Amino acid sequence: MTDSKLIKIYDTTLRDGTQGEGISFSSSDKILIAHLMDDFGIDYIEGGWPGSNPRDMEFFDLVKKEIFHHAKIVAFGSTRRANIPVSEDVQIAKLLEAETPVITIFGKTWLLHVTEVLKTTAQENLDMIFDSIKHLKDAGKEVIYDAEHFFDGYKDHPTYALSTLEAALRGGADYITLCDTNGGTQVTEVQEIVKSVKNSFPDAIVGMHCHNDCDLGVAVSLYGIEAGATMVQGVMNGYGERVGNANLTSIIANLGLKLGYDLNCKKHIKELRQFSLEVDRIAGKKPYRQAPFVGRSAFAHKGGVHANAAMKVARSYEHIQPELVGNSQRILLSDMSGSTSVAMKAAEYGLQLDPKSPEMKSFLNLIKQKENRGYAYENADASFIVLLFQHFKNLKDDYKLVSYRIITEVIRDTIGMNLSEAVIKLQMLGEDHEVELSVAESSGPVGALDHAARIAFGKYYPELETVELIDYKVRILQTGAGADSTTQVLMKSGDVTHTWWTCGASENIIDASWQALSDAYRYKLLLRNQVDNLADAFNETLTQSKNNG
């Protein structure tokens, strides 16, 4: 635990984050994200580089009309070009035209870049830094100086690297940010170099800007703070060039919850997971399940020993309370599960089970046998609930599947036209029920099977008409077994209120699909008939599922 000095959070998702592969925001997206950041309590929001592209230019035009209650919008750019007066540099002029209260400019620290990339002299580079910052300060701006490649430059020539910071401070920079642009500096090196900077410039306000190329972006950022920096730059969810920037989501949680620093966003840390998910949603990115603090798996327990301990004392296997970041504990069911895991999971859906009962022992054996055959209950909660009620509550089907048949034909006269037909024969249990035959067509065999089944069930279970097949995933479990491999099917179904996952496994992909479909219908009927609070439990699970993408 450290002292409670205030650490400023500088977000560069809208600029540096968009340099990541597959990340692109429209100008309206950027406005939306900026307001999310402002509401969360982020101190600085870097919006882009004015003049570099039409999208950033449009953003700075739009953002002038917006009101932010806490955050300061930042325009980003570089120092003036070599051998050109700062007053004649077009890029510097564009920065001022953006009319943001804060401007961040980067300059060269590493002599390799000065002589080999800029093709200028060491002294001219120092003049470029000083002139640019002084010009912006004279215009009344708060100026943050990003010392690009600082750590590499310092290791190569520490005296010159420090002289670039001196030029920035002489020009009036409000912050000097030390950038690990290549993402290759180790934690002990960062701590030593930041301490050297603080010793050389004790009155300077120092920031950190790190990349994640060695998977140390968060660590080196935190080490920099511990060494004396009081501002940290990063990107939400770790987007960015190459493998990404330091993940601001993890940085905020560590600073606020682990290291005891004051943050202006600290009062909103309970919203961190939702904030992270919203940024992923706007970016069109699937949330990373294993993300620290905010990922769906961050507080998930699969092993029986872990689940047992977590139930007794949560902190024995959870480094913080999940709720502190808006997350929740999850118990996963698999062949690794113990009786406590099953009892905890059953309790979520209204069933109180004795972990020591003979029925529990036989249920654990059943789970292990079925997972060994290819079923995947940790990813198919609805199938698990159905199996639970079948075993402990003697849940039985009200119908008998007599037979089903799938025919697929390719219509050669129509390019790309595939047609599948499914025929299902069902018989409702009871003396007077005849075999019901239903036929349906679709572009694929699983779709045809789904449509035919709902027609067959529709006479007796009209609520199944609202069930829709949403997603379908297939996995071949035995590499090298060819067409005889066991096929695992995961199926996502839903109605007007929520969604659920079911599973099946068989050497026959259609049979595996039928198993998953059947469980989807069984769960829907169970929701109606068996347990009043089952719907509430699954709606809570749905909310968590939606929050996970």
pLDDT digits (tens, 9 = 90+) for 481-491: 566 688 899 99
Select the more confidently predicted residue: 337 or 319.
319
Q: pLDDT band for position 333 (50/70/90)?
A: low
DSSP string, 157-195: -HHHHHHHHHHHHHHT-SEEEEEETTS---HHHHHHHHH
Q: What is the pLDDT of residue 541?
A: 44
Confidence of residue 316 (pLDDT cuts 50, 70, 90): low
Say if residue 315's pLDDT is above 90: no
At position 239, the amino acid (one-letter code) is Y
Determine which of 200-214, 297-311, 464-478, 520-534 has the lowest per-residue pLDDT on average. 297-311
pLDDT tens-digit profile of 115-136?
988 899 999 999 999 999 999 9
Q: Domains of the chain, with CATH numbers?
A: 8-264 (3.20.20.70), 339-394+468-549 (3.30.160.340), 399-459 (3.30.160)
pLDDT digits (tens, 9 = 90+) for 138-195: 999 999 999 999 999 999 999 999 999 999 999 999 999 999 999 999 999 999 999 9
**The one-letter amino acid at 198:** K
Tokens of 492: 């996502």
Structure tokens at 4: 């409670």
Mean pLDDT of 215-242: 96
| DSSP code at position 501 | E
pTM over 0.85: no
Specify the DSSP element, H or E, that contains 530: none
Q: Please state, in angstroms and rounded to a whole number, the distance separating the CA atoms of residues 507 and 476.
A: 9
pLDDT level of residue 260 (50, 70, 90 thresholds): very high
Q: What is the predicted pLDDT for the residue at 547?
A: 44
Q: Which of 2, 513, 509 is nearest to 255 (CA)?
A: 2
- Which residue matches tokens 């047992």? 308
Alpha-helical segments (H) within 434-492: 445-458
Give percent above pLDDT 90 in the chain.
56
- The confidence score (pLDDT) of residue 548 equals 43
Q: Mean per-residue pLDDT for 516-521?
A: 92
Sign of the CA dihedral running 419, 425, 428, 433? positive
**pLDDT tier, 305 (very low <50, low <70, confident <90, very high otherwise):** low
